[in-house]
Amino acid sequence: MRRPAEILLVDDNPADVGLVCDALARTPYGSHLNTVSDGEEAMAYLRRASPFSEAVRPSFVMLDLNLPRRDGRGVLAELKSDAGLRTIPVVVFTTSGSLRDISRSYELGANCYLTKPGNLNDFVAAVQALEAFWVRYAALPD
C-alpha cells in the first residue's frame, strides 16, 4: 500500500478550498490536503521556509492562477525553473477558461490545466478524478 499522497492546494478562495476538501474526503485514497492562500506562501511552503519548515514535499500541486500578492503564473514560472522543484507536477486549477491563460500556463510548464466546473457535481467529480489520476494511476518521480 502506497503512503497517502500529499496535495498542496494554492487557492485564496475558502469556498473552493472547502469544496475540494469535501470532494477529497469522499474518496478512498486518504490524501492529505495542505492549503496555502497566496503565491508567496506557496513558494515558502515548497522551499520549507518559515513557517513551513515542517512541510512535506507535495505529490502534486493544485494551483489557482489569480492569487493575491504573487499570482499563480509567477509561482509556476519559478517552480518550473527551480531544479529542485520542477519535477513536482503542477495542475492549474482555476476559474479562467481564457485561451490565453491556458496556452501561457502550458508554456510555463504546467502539467495539466483544469477549469473549475461551475456545477457542483462536475466540480466534485473533477477533483476526485484528478486525485485518482495523480495518486492511483500516474507514476511520479521520487
Partner 1 sequence: MASAAPTVSGKRKLCALLVEDNLLDAELVRHSLEHEGFEVDSDVVQTEAEFRARVTATPYDVVLADYNLPQWRGVEALDILRAEDLDIPVILVTGSLGDIAAVECIKRGVTDYVLKDHLTRLPASVSRALEETRYRQERARAENALKENQERLAGILASAMDAIVTVNEQGQIVLFNEAAELVFQCPASEAMGQPLHRFIPERFQAAHEEHVRKFTAGAATRRRMGKVETLVGLRANGAEFPMEASLSRVETQTGKLFTVILRDVTEQEALRRLRQRAEETLSKKAAELTRSNRDLEQFAYIASHDLQEPLRMVASYTQLLAERYRGKLDDNADKYIGYAVEGALRMQTLIQDLLAFSRVGRNGSEPKAVNANLAVHEALQNLRSTLDESRANVVCDNLPAVAVSRSQLVQLFQNLVGNAIKFHGAEPPQTRITAEKADTAWLFSVADNGIGIAPEHHDQIFMIFQRLHARAEYPGNGVGLAICKKIVEQHGGKIWVESDLGRGSTFRFTLPDCGSNQDGLEKT
| Binding piece for partner 1, criterion CB under 8 A, among 24-32, 39-47, 75-83, 90-98 | 90-98
Residue 96 exposed, middle or buried by CB count within 10 Å (0-12, 13-18, 19+) = middle
Does the protein bind partner 1 through residue 139 (CB under 8 A)? no
Does the protein bind partner 1 through residue 120 (CB under 8 A)? yes
Does the protein bind partner 1 through residue 98 (CB under 8 A)? yes
Write out the three cell numbers for 2: 502506497
Longest alpha-carbon distance in the chain = 41
How many residues at the interface with partner 1, by CB under 8 A? 19
Residue 130 exposed, middle or buried by CB count within 10 Å (0-12, 13-18, 19+) = buried
Kindly state the smallest distance separating residue 102's Cβ from partner 1, in Å.
11
Contacts with partner 1 by CB under 8 A lie at 13, 15-16, 19, 22, 66, 94-100, 116, 118-121, 123
